[in-house]
Amino acid sequence: MPHESKKAKRERVSEILTRLQKRYPDAKCALRHRNPLQLLVATILSAQCTDAKVNEVTEDLFRKYKTPEEFANVSQGALEQDIHSTGFYRNKAKNIRGAAKKIVEEHGGKVPDTMEALLELPGVARKTANVVLETAFGKNEGVIVDTHVIRLSQRLGLTERKDNSSDRMEAELMDLVPREMWGRFSHLLVFHGRSLCTARKPDCEHCPINDLCPSAFKA
């Protein structure tokens, strides 16, 4: 919306949230997990990979390795083979092993529940930390900014950024979205991005927020 004030933008965000919650009442993290460790590993694997593929890989992975000690002690080559199909498997295996080692040595074998501690783990940036904090620990410390959230935030005119800088975009979104909705906001945009507002051909005709979107019917 051209020349929109921050107050007006926040009101539009509130209405967007209301409508998307009605459309996707079950929106939540799509990565299958049973504990914070599994969620951390799955989120590291999700970089440049679909959640569906990650869930397929972790079904066997989490049967083989159940504790941080087991992930820390598995050989680099063996873990690379286990996660090969998620892409970037060498770096992901290195990060998972390194994070698990740090969890064992510095956190008593438990995934830490603070942003500061999570960001010190290999392979963990703000997106991964936000996923773990919100989904595993119920803490809203930031907005999870993935490819869907970037695309939809740009289309909805919630950010002026065109460079896909997730940290800077996150700060903008945190200023617009009520803190208690930071995690929910991300899940709703992910579900909407998969369902209707797809990258190639958004279905604006059936979109429940098309009247709130400056990009509607233009893509």
Catalytic residue among 66, 146, 162, 203: 146
146 counts as catalytic: yes
Residue 136 and residue 111 in contact, taking contact as beta carbons nearer than 8 Å: yes
Q: How far is CA 167 from the centre of its chain?
A: 13
Residue that is written with structure tokens 């965000």 in the block:
13
Kindly name the residue from 51, 82, 92, 127 that is annotated as catalytic.
127
The CA-based dihedral angle spanning residues 47, 180, 160, 193, taken in that order and rounded to the nearest 10 degrees? 50
**123 burial class (0-12, 13-18, 19+ CB within 10 angstroms)?**
buried
Q: Which residues are catalytic, by number?
A: 127, 146
